[in-house]
Structure 1
Amino acid sequence: MFHLKSISGLLVIACCSIAVFGCSSEPAKGVVTGVVTKNGKPLDGVLVSFMPDSLKGTDAKMSRATTDDQGHYRLVYTGSGREEGAAAGWHRVTIEDLASENYRGSGPPPAPRVSPIYMDPSATPFSIEVKPGEQEIDLDVKSNR
């Protein structure tokens, strides 16, 4: 009987240890802020997405932010609630103009302020490494011309 109780106790300890220490699959993160500009001028109302680059060994969920009226952004990791940051590792960074995509007015929508190349993860020129800790990553998109 003593042998059965000690085995049961060990199983409980093992299960609790796995639950506390063994199930954390969240990657290390870096807190990422920055400014998005177009030809040096702040770009407001654009969606910035950091998409982990599996070809460079980064396997995690993406992070996103929308720029404010001064072009500032602060990434939020999509893996667990509203946690700030992005997974450490390499990312393909896309930028989408929400103003032209969400236009609901009368008449033709405004022309996108961002070239389609920046919206395509396979074509974007932004391949950026996020490191653990705080960092500022500024992004300058070039004119559509």
Structure 2
Amino acid sequence: MGCSGASDTPDLGQVTGVITKGTTPVTNATIVFTPEGEKSGAAATGRTNDQGEYSLTYTGGLKGAPVGMSKVKIVIEELSTDESKPVPPPVMYLPEKSAAVISGENVINFDLAGIKPKAE
């Protein structure tokens, strides 16, 4: 038996997608995938760009999210360039279903139209 360099890093699947509200891309949103069940552990996070696109990153800057089922949380922050106006608090959305992450490439899109925001 040699040293295999085993780590506690779970198997990761690459996760990308787009967050929209109807046909409008959701910008400045943070998306969090938190593993469910026996394999619960560190969450993977991402942030949307101007087109509503995101890519998840795991602990240590590794690309992807743990393979298996994850609870999803999406937090939208409005950025204000007008310092005279207060910035509204972030709005959180919890899509009703969990997301399944498999080995390899995963494209998981979310449409927030019709989903009511939740209180943090």
What is the TM-score with the length of structure 2 in the denominator? Answer: 0.81
Where do 5+ consecutive residues of structure 2 fail to align?
none
Q: Is the 8 A contact 2:11 2:67 kept in 1?
A: yes
Alignment partner of 1:91 is 2:62: no
Cα deviation for residue 41 of structure 1 reads 1.5
Q: Which has the higher strand share?
A: 2
Q: Is the 8 A contact 1:58 1:90 kept in 2?
A: no
Identify which of 23, 26, 40 aligns with 1:43.
26
Alignment partner of 1:34 is 2:17: yes
**Structure 1 residues 50, 104: closer, same or farther in 2, change over 3 A?**
farther
The higher radius of gyration belongs to 1
Where do 5+ consecutive residues of structure 1 fail to align?
1-13
Q: How many residues align?
A: 116
**After superposition, what is the alpha-carbon deviation per residue over 1:90-142, rounded to whole angstroms, capped at 9, x for unaligned?**
10111101226x88822243476x5x4x1xxxx54141110010110001112
- Identity among equivalent positions (%) equals 34
Question: Which structure 1 residue ranges, 4+ long, deviate > 6 Å from structure 2?
Answer: none
What is the TM-score with the length of structure 1 in the denominator? Answer: 0.68
Determine the structure 2 residue equivalent to 1:7.
Answer: none
Alignment partner of 1:77 is 2:48: no
- 1:9-20 matches, within 5 Å, as 17=2, 20=3
